[in-house]
Structure 1
Amino acid sequence: MEQAYRNARVVTRDEDFIGSVLVRDGVIAAVDPGPGAVGEDFDGDVLMPGVVDLHTDALEKHFFPRPNIDWNPVSAAVTHDAACLSVGVTTVFDSLSVGSYNASVARDRDNIGRLTDGLLAARDGGMLKADHRLHWRCETPSDELTERLPPLASHPMTALFSMMDHTPGQRQYRNIELHLNNWRERGMDEDAIARRLDEIRDRQARNAASNARFVAELAKAMGVALASHDDEDVEHVDEAADLGATVAEFPVTRQAAERARARGMTVVMGGPNLIRGGSYSGNVPASELADAGLLDAFASDYVPRSLVECAFALATAPFGWSLPRAVASVTATVADAVGLSDRGAVAEGRRADLLRVRPIRGLPVLRGAWVAGERAA
């Protein structure tokens, strides 16, 4: 089966030009300069690879659309899939937390099982159009991580592990007063806050180091990529890199990003950080790392739409990245970081995950999405 696209602004890994693309049996068969003579006319719209998102929390929101109100998990997966495709995400790493001390009801033992079973049933039933994988976010201070993670990790869609530590006073929550004020706003008094802090810090002291090793060993045994999360300083980065982490996800300081780059890790920032103009927690702005040449890629975190916006934002002032370099930050660079060498670029032999995008009034608008050559949005 063949499809052809012509008169497109084709964005490859190294250049962009008006050209045409031929797809055969779900794989890119040819990429040629010039407007072309046959196929769907893109009318100068951008033709770029489908977005690869290695961290989105959005699946949970469809499973529990309101607190304590659950939705059919298969239906939730289908809705989530459509939402991702509508903003150009064709490869989705659905991130789910294991051992989080402030876990929502969506993350309890039974519901994580229901959610992942629903995702698999939707995939195997042919109900999903994007390529979905599981990213296990592993809270290393947890008392139950070593018990809970192995059966979850055996899920056939497992593709990424990350090591997290959300103990207040460091990493994501290094501004401890900002974090504690959230507890106060929820009605906790100072004695309750002190008790909770003591409990969390005790768990960190007992478990964090050994659990990080456990996660790293499991990732290595399964041949799955490993990421660090919210690194704050050189020590955090070195600990993760020494354990085999190759992705530094959301470093919270420039120092951590510099060290991650020195250790050969892919530095990934949250898309909302760039689009909103900074971190909501007061951590290093993605724009600062972009200006310093310390930013490699983005993940959506909590706004999948942010990724295609990041690509086009970086290609304009004040950043001025080339469009190929900017697009790679949400496609090829991400795919390479997690070992997906079959996608992420408009090139012969790559999987035909493609987007048609038109910038309108400064915003990239999706006009079409294809997954392995099939129209998906």
Structure 2
Amino acid sequence: MIITNVNLVLENEVVKGSLELRDGKIVSMSDSQSQVAGAYDGEGDFLMPGFIELHTDNLEQYFTPRPKVDWPPFSAMSAHDTQLIGSGITTVLDAVALGDFRDEKRQTNLDLFINTVVDSQKRNLTRAEHLLHLRCEVPHESTVGMFEKYVDLPEVQLVSLMDHAPGQRQFVDVEKYRTYYQGKHNLTDSEMAAFENKQVELSERWSTRNRNEICRQCREHNIPMASHDDATKAHVQESKDLGMVIAEFPTTVEAAKRSHELGLKVLMGAPNVVRGGSHSGNVAAHELASHGVLDILSSDYYPMSLLEGIYKLSWDERNTLTLPQAVQLVTKNPAQALSLDDRGVIAEGKRADLVLAKQVDGHPLVARVWRQGKKVF
């Protein structure tokens, strides 16, 4: 198969040309237009590597589209997969929360989530490649036991460790914490006060011991690890000492810069880029990009935000990054973080996971997606 008349977004430049695909891989590239009959005409749009998503909770909204409403698992998985592919995501780590005492429904659905992801992949029911990201809420007595139940699954490609107790990390501003959780769980003021106290107590009792034990087991299994919401240099140093390779959502410029210096790839939410800032009142992703310390974008809760984030960082009035630099945030850099060496760039011998993007009235849209050379959107 040949794709021609496209702007190829390579690692360091954009070149107008053509690609030849065979057996699921890129076999040759050209800086000229192909004259071969039957070649796919990209009409001058931008051809990028398939996007790699490391942290998304998107699957949950399809399993439970409304409170107390459960959806059939394979139907939910299909709808989730369709949205991801339509957003240009060809590799995804579906994030599942372990030890999440804030939401009982997540715990009830956990086995169902994981079994559906694993079974869907084995039966080739998805268009994107789905892997697993275990999000470990460390301030809970059940977290290590739940982690040990799933850590041997070959689909587990990333483990992150997080503590959402009030007064630190994501929620240094306790008022932001109260606004978020009181609204989410519809708590009265007295119920919210009791909730806060309980989370602080759990964090003090379990967080450090669980963090250390889970990291020890990840090192034994050679599973990449991510910190979450580091706010200080001390947080970052602890993450480095424990062997983490990704810093998810650092909340300050200080923590992001130190993470970058120590070799942790800094991951921020693409919705943060699109919206212009953090909904928790923490550092803006575009600010980290301007300092040169933004490495990876995640769609988090909104899959199309990856393409929108690329657009905001490279094509709008800020022009913080070049287009190749912005594209690497969702392709090459996340691939490198997980040692997925067969994808993430447009180069001979790499997987033919590709996204063709265009602009309509100044907004980016996904026109076509190929995974391993097969058109899936």
- When the two structures are superposed, what TM-score results if normalisation uses the length of structure 2? 0.96
Report Cα offsets for 1:106-133 as digits up to 9, x if no partner: x11x411012111222222221111101
Q: Who is 2:56 aligned against? A: 56
Q: Who is 1:74 aligned against? A: 74
CA distance in 2, matches of 1:255, 1:280: 19
Give the superposition deviation at 1:190.
4.5
Distance 1:197 1:356, change over 3 A: same
Q: Any residues of structure 2 matched to 1:302-321 within 5 Å, and which?
A: 302-316=301-315, 317-321=317-321
User: Residue type of the partner of 1:274?
Assistant: V
Report Cα offsets for 1:222-278 as digits up to 9, x if no partner: 221100011111111111111000100111111110110111110111000000111
CA distance in 1, matches of 2:104, 2:294: 31
Q: Who is 2:287 aligned against? A: 288
CA distance in 1, matches of 2:134, 2:177: 24
Cα contact 1:291–1:319 (8 A) shared by 2: no
Q: Who is 2:353 aligned against? A: 353
CA distance in 2, matches of 1:177, 1:354: 43
Q: Which moved more, 1:29-38 or 1:341-350?
A: 29-38
5+ unaligned residues in a row in structure 2: which ranges?
none
Distance 1:175 1:320, change over 3 A: closer
User: Residue type of the partner of 2:331?
Assistant: T
SS at match of 1:319: coil
Report Cα offsets for 1:195-240 as digits up to 9, x if no partner: 3323221211121111111221222222211000111111111111
Report Cα offsets for 1:5-26 as digits up to 9, x if no partner: 1111011111111111011100
Moved >6 Å (runs of 4+): none
CA distance in 2, matches of 1:155, 1:221: 14
Q: How many equivalent pairs are there?
A: 373
User: Residue type of the partner of 2:138?
Assistant: T
User: Residue type of the partner of 1:240?
Assistant: S
User: Residue type of the partner of 1:103?
Assistant: D
CA distance in 1, matches of 2:190, 2:61: 32
Distance 1:255 1:125, change over 3 A: same
Give the superposition deviation at 1:189.
4.3
CA distance in 1, matches of 2:135, 2:115: 18
Report Cα offsets for 1:294-324 as digits up to 9, x if no partner: 1112001101100011112221221242211
Cα contact 2:290–2:320 (8 A) shared by 1: no
5+ unaligned residues in a row in structure 1: which ranges?
none
Distance 1:37 1:78, change over 3 A: same
Give the superposition deviation at 1:182.
4.2
Distance 1:187 1:96, change over 3 A: closer
SS at match of 1:278: coil
Same amino acid, percent of matched pairs: 36
- When the two structures are superposed, what TM-score results if normalisation uses the length of structure 1? 0.96
Q: Who is 2:34 aligned against? A: 36
Q: Who is 2:89 aligned against? A: 89
